[in-house]
């Protein structure tokens, strides 16, 4: 009996603690060209205390805490403008200043990886790629219900980021 428990425990550790996804899911993403220097776009993204000025998709419950690798954040998302917010705790995994920001959140059976990648594509032109990837055992059951609203919210945020960063750069 203890061998079976040990095998099951090992299975859980291997499959549920692994950074590899349990059930790969396609990423939702937006790509936006912003007429502003990468550093300006980066500052708009990481200055969470200013999100309320321009961002109707993501909200930070602790805006005074900067993005820092290993730091937990309390965020919320509003998929539909004016709709209900869904609060979640996220762990910042990667911050590469002026280039890349990533956090992960999870609940039993569902993991989410949220990232922003900035690239220069011309003089004072920045491409922002915003990805939202879901995986886990319950992802196939939940994602169909939120996919379209999540993608519309991401597109709304991309447009708002574009307008705000372009405003800041002029």
Average pLDDT of the chain, as a whole number = 85
CA 20 centroid distance within chain: 17
CA 122/CA 100 separation, integer angstroms:
18
Whether 5 has a pLDDT exceeding 90, the answer reads: no
Residue with tokens 């909200």: 59
In this prediction, residue 24 carries a pLDDT of 53
Residue 168 token pair: 């800041």
Which of 20, 34, 33 is CA-nearest to residue 113? Answer: 20
Residue 51 in any domain: the answer is: yes
Is residue 42 within 8 A of residue 118, CB to CB? The reply is yes
| 8 Å CB contact between 101 and 95 | yes
Asked whether residue 147 carries a pLDDT value surpassing 80, the answer given is: yes
**CA pair distance 44, 116, nearest whole angstrom:** 12
- Work out how many domains the chain is built from and give that number: 1
Whether residue 136 lies inside any domain: the answer is yes
Q: Residue 91 in contact with residue 105, Cβ under 8 Å?
A: yes
In degrees rounded to 5, what are phi and psi of residue 66? Answer: -75, 160
**Domain housing 134:** 25-169
pLDDT at 26: 59
Instruction: Tell me how far apart the alpha carbons of residues 33 and 73 are, in angstroms, rounded to a whole number.
Output: 28
Give the CATH number for residue 71.
Answer: 3.30.530.20
Dihedral sign, Cα of residue 49, residue 50, residue 53, residue 57:
negative
pLDDT above 60: residue 117 = yes
Q: Looking at the domain assignment, is residue 13 inside a domain? A: no
2 lies in some domain: no
């Amino acid at each position: 009996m203890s061998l079976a428990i040990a095998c099951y425990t090992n299975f859980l550790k291997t499959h549920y603690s692994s950074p590899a996804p349990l059930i790969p899911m396609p990423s939702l993403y937006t790509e936006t060209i912003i007429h502003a220097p990468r550093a300006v776009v980066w500052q708009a993204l990481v200055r969470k205390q200013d999100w309320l000025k321009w961002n109707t998709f993501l909200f930070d419950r602790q805006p005074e805490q900067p993005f820092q690798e290993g730091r937990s954040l309390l965020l919320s998302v509003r998929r539909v403008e004016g709709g209900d917010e869904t609060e979640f705790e996220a762990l910042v995994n990667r911050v590469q200043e002026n280039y890349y920001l990533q956090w992960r959140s999870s609940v039993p059976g569902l993991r989410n990886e949220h990232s922003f990648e900035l690239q220069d594509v011309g003089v004072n032109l920045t491409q922002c790629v915003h990805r939202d990837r879901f995986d886990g055992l319950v992802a196939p059951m939940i994602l169909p219900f939120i996919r379209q609203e999540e993608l519309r919210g991401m597109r709304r945020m991309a447009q708002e980021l574009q307008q705000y960063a372009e405003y800041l750069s002029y």
